[in-house]
Amino acid sequence: MPKFTKGESKLFKNKQENDVLKVLFSEPYINQRILAQSSGHSLGVVNRSVRRLMENGYLDGQLKPTLKARQEYQDKEPRNAVILAAGFGMRMVPINRELPKGLLEVNNEPLIERQIRQLQKVGITEIYIIVGFLKEKYEYLIDKYKVKLIFNPNYAAKNNLHSLRLAAEYLSNTYIVPCDIWCDQNPFSRHELYSWYMVSDIVDNDSDVRVNRKMELVSVPKLSGGNAMTGIAYLLKEECVLVRKRLEELCQDSRNDNAFWEITLYDNGKMIVPARVVHAFDVAEINTYEQLRELDEESNHLKSDALDVIADVFHVHVDEITDIKVLKKGMTNRSFLFSCEGEEYIMRIPGEGTEKLINRRQEACVYRTIAGLGLCDDVVYLNPENGYKITKYLRDVRTADPKDCRDLNQCMEKLRDFHSMHLEVGHEFNLYGQIEFYESLWSGEPSVFKDYQEAKAGVLSLKTFVESHIERKTLTHIDAVPDNFLFYRNQKGEEELRLTDWEYAGMQDPHLDLAMFCVYSFYDREQVDQLIDIYFEEKCSWENRLKIYCYIAACGLLWSNWCEYKRSLGVEFGEYSLKQYRFAKDYYRYALQEMEIHSGEQSSEDKHQRNAYEEE
């Protein structure tokens, strides 16, 4: 992280003195006690502050601001605001699929419109809004409030540190505001005398800072508890110079892709600006469905077709669906946890563009086929039209660790048992057909990879060998990756293993499941061979091993093409995409090398047999 140069860290006068001076600008002096009440400081602090302000020429004998004070007041008054509104708001599932969180309504008022009106009420008319997800939904604000929109094309892959960088040139006496904050009282003012960062007086275990006795914001260890951070800040032009420099430097490092803009404020274990502390009931961050419901249970945006489905399935009112929490975003779907009638469940909501990728009727057929076999989590509801799915929540669950030998042995045993059932469904997963299909979804756009056609030709050159060495097709999971192997404790306290997410399952060579496990785990070749040996119990033929190499190449290209399609929808997978493409290139080369080696060995063996025959 870039460091401040000497003398840069103290960028504000005594906070208490500025607070007292600000009160004397807005209301006439009556007595010290009233001044203490208005400024929020003790009588002793006010007395010392008044004395120092007079000594330094900011107050005259009647405790009125001097010309020097008025000039400074004018120099530090707010000029503009930047509202950060580019993100997905993933924790708002199930209500954020068609509406960005800045437009969620509290008391029939969109969050971002309330912020804009509060800014304009104190004279801030130069307002920049950084948009990304569903950016078109914000367009009307240009005409209604004369704001300016700045588009962040990387909103899906990077956090708001990168959003703020896009507005760096406008930072100067600036309010920075996240779009998901609701303030009961107007947090903005016509006049400011120092920079600040707003926190509330509530303890938050996710906070990175706490307020000390000097009103400084000092860093705290994770999960140790600090003051809840609101994300709202005011930065004078001096601090903006430093923040702009830090934005430029920090955004060059990919390790900061998921960073919040607040990291630009830290120096030597504390923020470079003091705290502005507000009461928790005056400010509400709306990051989840439950937070919105708590603030405004009548909000129009609490309505959700997903919740209507749950209510219908369990024959309850929507109000009886509680404890809604978003789960980790999947690569295809979004899911959330909820409670109903004393039990916990997970609801899956298909992600963007999923309807083009997955046949939900075929998925429903798979679940009917495996029902009762102890293979998957318990499905309570599945809609074959839109893919909404409800399953019972498994407590104390963990996913497989691809680096743990014990886990690998259990996962491969589960796969062997499943494959040996030789289950059948009426549809097939066409591996090479899917590669072409995902490519067709690019709408004629070329691949982002310069040598794509060469890599694709290499992968397809292996197809003949693969198809000639398939022993038997059976129901195959296709997405048998470590995250889909769930370890949990049953009622007897025994650990059991289930496979989840059967969206892609169909008839195929079961050895394809091994390749999928490898590419998702980012295995190197030695680890690939180890997994193959575990599955085959050290009895894998060279033909099957070579075939799995071919599958790894094809799977890499398959998921790389899938990532390119998802990228066109604004969903970015970063390193995953790059590594899948690398699997395609590396393993088609490995496979060709192995074919040449075994072809040479076979020719030598044939020659030896011919010579022996001739000698006889």
The model's pLDDT over 567-589, given as tens digits with 9 standing for 90+, comes to 877 677 778 899 999 999 999 99
Percent of the chain at pLDDT above 90? 53
| Mean pLDDT, the chain, integer | 87
Please state, in angstroms and rounded to a whole number, the distance separating the CA atoms of residues 507 and 1: 52
Question: Is 135 a domain residue?
Answer: yes
- Record the tokens describing residue 122, joined without a space: 């104190």
Half-sphere exposure of 602 (CA within 13 A, CB side): 8
Is 472 in the same domain as 339? Answer: no
Is 490 in the same domain as 357? Answer: no
- Beta bridge partners of residue 199, listed in sequence order: 229, 277
- Phi/psi region, residue 353 (left: phi>0; alpha: psi -120 to 50; beta: rest), is left
What CATH code is carried by the domain that includes residue 387? 3.30.200.20
Query: Could you tell me the pLDDT band of residue 405, with boundaries at 50, 70 and 90?
Result: very high
Report whether 306 contacts 94 (CB < 8 A): yes
Please state, in angstroms and rounded to a whole number, the distance separating the CA atoms of residues 420 and 150: 56
Question: Is 291 a domain residue?
Answer: no
* Cα separation values, 447 from 25, 270, 439, 577, 581, Å: 61, 45, 8, 12, 11
Per-residue pLDDT tens digits for 193-235: 889 999 998 888 888 899 998 889 999 987 778 899 999 999 9
Question: Is 370 a domain residue?
Answer: yes
Report CA dihedral (456, 457, 462, 464) to the nearest 10 degrees.
120
Question: Is 127 a domain residue?
Answer: yes
* Residue given tokens 């969109």 in the structure block: 110
What CATH code is carried by the domain that includes residue 453? 3.90.1200.10
pLDDT at 5: 43
Question: Is 477 a domain residue?
Answer: yes
SS (H, E, C) 412-469: HHHHHHHHHCCCCCCCECCHHHHHHHHHHCCCCCCCCCCCHHHHHHHHHCCHHHHHHC
Choose the final residue of a domain: 55, 75, 95.
75
Of the listed ranges 74-83, 217-226, 410-419, the one predicted with least confidence: 217-226
In total, how many domains does the chain have? 4
H or E, element range at 80: strand 80-85
pLDDT at 146 over 90: yes
Is 511 in the same domain as 447? Answer: yes
* Residue given tokens 């370890």 in the structure block: 487
- Record the tokens describing residue 60, joined without a space: 């005259």
Is 144 in the same domain as 237? Answer: yes
Domain that holds residue 147: 83-285
Selection from 404, 398, 517, 515 nearest residue 466 by Cα: 515
Q: What average pLDDT does the segment 555-566 reach?
A: 92
| pTM for this prediction | 0.63
Alpha helices in 76-185 (DSSP H): 111-121, 140-145, 160-165
Is 259 in the same domain as 323? Answer: no
Is 404 in the same domain as 387? Answer: no
Query: Which residues have a Cβ under 8 Å from the Cβ of 418 and sit 6 or more positions away?
Result: 375, 477, 499
pLDDT at 34: 84
Question: Is 2 a domain residue?
Answer: no
Selection from 28, 151, 39, 36 nearest residue 85 by Cα: 151
Is 261 in the same domain as 141? Answer: yes
Is 275 in the same domain as 360? Answer: no
Query: Could you tell me the pLDDT band of residue 51, with boundaries at 50, 70 and 90?
Result: confident
At CA 394, angle to CA 392 and CA 399, rounded to 5? 130
Question: Is 96 a domain residue?
Answer: yes
Is 384 in the same domain as 488? Answer: no
Is 460 in the same domain as 558? Answer: yes
pLDDT at 92: 62
pLDDT at 70: 85
Choose the final residue of a domain: 75, 104, 124.
75
How far is the first Cα of the chain from the last one, in angstroms, to the nearest whole number? 79
Q: Cα dihedral sign for 84, 90, 93, 99?
A: positive
Choose the final residue of a domain: 368, 393, 418.
393
- Beta bridge partners of residue 234, listed in sequence order: 175, 196
Question: Is 546 a domain residue?
Answer: yes
Per DSSP (E only), the strands in 293-354 are: 322-326, 333-340, 343-350
What CATH code is carried by the domain that includes residue 255? 3.90.550.10
Per-residue pLDDT tens digits for 443-459: 888 999 999 999 999 99
Per-residue pLDDT tens digits for 449-500: 999 999 999 999 999 999 999 999 999 999 999 999 999 887 777 888 999 9
Is 579 in the same domain as 514? Answer: yes
Is 478 in the same domain as 381? Answer: no
Per-residue pLDDT tens digits for 266-310: 998 999 999 999 998 889 888 777 777 777 776 666 667 788 899
